[in-house]
């Protein structure tokens, strides 16, 4: 949780951390200071003190809306630093970092650098910082980072926002089902509208985007993929393709609060009008795997055990898995799930390779078994988002029905 950040900094012997602001949405900035839409400056968190935002003068009002202390770059002396750097804004941006740290009382020691932004820029800046300001030790972090460890458990405010996003996403699922169902079957196994025009995946996607907008959400790259594309877990689906009867459709929706914020993540597999035998068999097994996941769950369980239980089951049914055939593109090819929050993929991981993760209260996770046979023209995945409550119970946040057969009513 956010309240763990000071402890996690202490464990890393980190006196301060900075989140540089680039012109890109940064969930790390939002996590540290709350939703803020700024494009310059940085957030500085000194251990055992509240974070501070250093913002361009054009953006101080936006930054102040977070409730945190805000200094304009001018107040912090940016224009003196710029002058000292002969108006070279690149050199000034580098020198401004230790300048601000010093103004805030941090004159050396280990400083973590976190965030989302331009990789080439931070690499060059780190080289310059380390060369020119040896009193500081600027560090990055990969693997299980400070932010991963904090965000692995959500606090009550986060959970309540996540519940709102969940309800809104479930409403969009229901509307999408009803929208497709309002169509009718045409010749050639196609789905057509009242005017006899084929319903395209692009039409469905636009409908979903409109429904998300009405709910205050935004898409972050939904999958609406049919047939062979459904058999490739991350194929987004092709807008120009007409919806067909009897094809598996993988619909994976992972929107967030508009402008950046908390996610929901849900997948349903639908077949319109009729379900081919092979798809039905895969669906039944995926549903069994889903039930196994929920049954083996208990608080304190290493997450890899849940994945292993599902792999045991799928392997017993004769499917290749990522454990028996690393890198396979058929069978059960991916992890069972993941944490989510301000990012769609967070800790804990639920993979057989997740060594350090155990289920605990405050986790918000997905469970998403799937089976993929692209060469046979189908894939099936079913996914809900869950939270683990204070009493250790696993609560689904995705009540929307898991039916595979979507009958046309039009």
Q: Minimum CB separation from its own copies for residue 160, in Å? A: 20
Tell me phi and psi for residue 277, to 5 degrees: -55, -45
Q: Minimum CB separation from its own copies for residue 328, in Å? A: 7
Specify which residues 250 forms β-bridges with. 225, 269
Of 3, 56, 64, nearest in space to 32 by CA? 3
Q: Which two tokens stand for residue 219?
A: 């898409």
Instruction: Give the residue with the Cβ less far from its own copies, 297 or 314.
Output: 314
Instruction: Give the residue with the Cβ less far from its own copies, 116 or 358.
Output: 116
Instruction: Give the residue with the Cβ less far from its own copies, 142 or 391.
Output: 142
- Reported in sequence order, the residue ranges of 276-350 that DSSP labels E, i.e. its strands, are 337-339, 346-350
Of 366, 379, 370, nearest in space to 294 by CA? 366
Instruction: Give the residue with the Cβ less far from its own copies, 59 or 158.
Output: 59
Longest alpha-carbon distance in the chain: 74
Backbone φ/ψ region at 327: left (φ over 0), alpha (ψ -120 to 50), beta: left
Length of the chain: 410
Q: Distance between CA 280 and CA 301 in Å, rounded?
A: 31
266-to-164, 172, 348, 363 alpha-carbon distances in Å: 14, 11, 17, 16
- Cβ count within 10 A of residue 156: 10
- The answer for residues whose C-beta is within 8 angstroms of residue 342's C-beta and 6 or more apart is 27, 30, 31, 151, 256, 260, 261, 262, 263
Instruction: Give the residue with the Cβ less far from its own copies, 69 or 145.
Output: 145
DSSP 8-class letter at 199: P
Q: Minimum CB separation from its own copies for residue 8, in Å? A: 13
Q: Minimum CB separation from its own copies for residue 84, in Å? A: 13
Residue 290, class by beta-carbon neighbours within 10 Å (0-12 exposed, 13-18 middle, 19+ buried)?
A: buried
Q: Minimum CB separation from its own copies for residue 173, in Å? A: 19
Q: Distance between CA 73 and CA 54 in Å, rounded?
A: 6
Q: Which two tokens stand for residue 194?
A: 């009242």
Q: Distance between CA 196 and CA 183 in Å, rounded?
A: 9
Q: Minimum CB separation from its own copies for residue 19, in Å? A: 8
Q: Minimum CB separation from its own copies for residue 24, in Å? A: 6
Instruction: Give the residue with the Cβ less far from its own copies, 39 or 160.
Output: 39
Instruction: Give the residue with the Cβ less far from its own copies, 275 or 374.
Output: 374
Q: Minimum CB separation from its own copies for residue 372, in Å? A: 8
Edge-to-edge strand list for the sheet holding 364-367? 346-350, 337-339, 364-367, 384-388, 394-396
Q: Minimum CB separation from its own copies for residue 263, in Å? A: 12
Instruction: Give the residue with the Cβ less far from its own copies, 312 or 356.
Output: 356
Instruction: Give the residue with the Cβ less far from its own copies, 378 or 400.
Output: 378
Instruction: Give the residue with the Cβ less far from its own copies, 42 or 180.
Output: 42
Q: Distance between CA 282 and CA 302 in Å, rounded?
A: 27
Q: Minimum CB separation from its own copies for residue 333, in Å? A: 7
Helix (H) or strand (E) holding 211: helix 201-214
Q: Minimum CB separation from its own copies for residue 355, in Å? A: 8
Specify which residues 338 forms β-bridges with. 349
């Amino acid at each position: 949780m956010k309240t763990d950040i000071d402890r996690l900094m202490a464990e890393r012997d980190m006196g301060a951390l900075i989140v540089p602001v680039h012109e890109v949405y940064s969930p790390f900035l939002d996590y540290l200071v709350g939703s803020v839409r700024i494009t310059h400056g940085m957030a500085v968190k000194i251990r055992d003190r509240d974070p501070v935002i250093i913002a361009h003068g054009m953006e101080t009002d936006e930054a102040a809306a977070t409730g945190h202390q805000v200094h304009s770059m001018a107040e912090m002396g940016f224009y003196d630093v710029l002058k000292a750097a002969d108006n070279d804004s690149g050199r000034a941006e580098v020198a401004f970092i230790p300048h601000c740290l010093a103004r805030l009382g941090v004159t050396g020691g280990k400083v973590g650098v976190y965030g989302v932004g331009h990789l080439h820029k931070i690499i060059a800046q780190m080289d310059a910082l380390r060369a020119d300001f040896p009193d500081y030790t600027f560090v990055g972090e990969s693997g299980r980072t400070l932010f991963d460890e904090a965000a692995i458990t959500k606090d009550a405010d986060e959970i309540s926002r996540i519940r709102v996003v969940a309800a809104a996403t479930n409403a969009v699922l229901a509307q999408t089902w009803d929208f497709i169902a309002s169509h009718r079957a045409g010749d050639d196994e196609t789905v057509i509208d009242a005017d006899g025009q084929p319903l395209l995946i692009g039409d469905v996607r636009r409908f979903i985007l409109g429904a998300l907008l009405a709910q205050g959400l935004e898409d972050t790259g939904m999958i609406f993929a049919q047939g062979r594309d459904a058999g490739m877990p991350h194929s987004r689906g092709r807008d120009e393709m007409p919806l067909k009867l009897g094809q598996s459709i993988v619909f994976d929706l992972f929107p967030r609060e508009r402008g950046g914020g908390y996610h929901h993540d849900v997948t349903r597999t639908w077949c319109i009008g009729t379900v081919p035998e092979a798809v039905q068999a895969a669906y039944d097994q995926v549903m069994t795997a889903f039930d196994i996941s929920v049954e083996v769950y208990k608080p304190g369980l290493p997450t890899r055990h849940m994945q292993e239980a599902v792999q045991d089951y799928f392997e017993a049914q004769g499917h290749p898995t990522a454990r028996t055939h690393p890198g396979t593109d058929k069978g059960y090819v991916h992890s069972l799930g993941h944490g989510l929050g301000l990012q769609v993929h967070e800790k804990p991981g639920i993979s057989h390779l997740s060594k350090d993760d155990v289920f605990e209260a405050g986790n918000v996770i997905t469970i998403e078994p799937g089976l993929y046979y692209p060469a046979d023209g189908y894939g099936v995945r079913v996914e809900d988002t869950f939270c683990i409550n204070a009493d250790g119970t696993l609560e689904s946040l995705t009540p929307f029905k898991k039916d595979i057969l979507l009958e046309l009513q039009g």
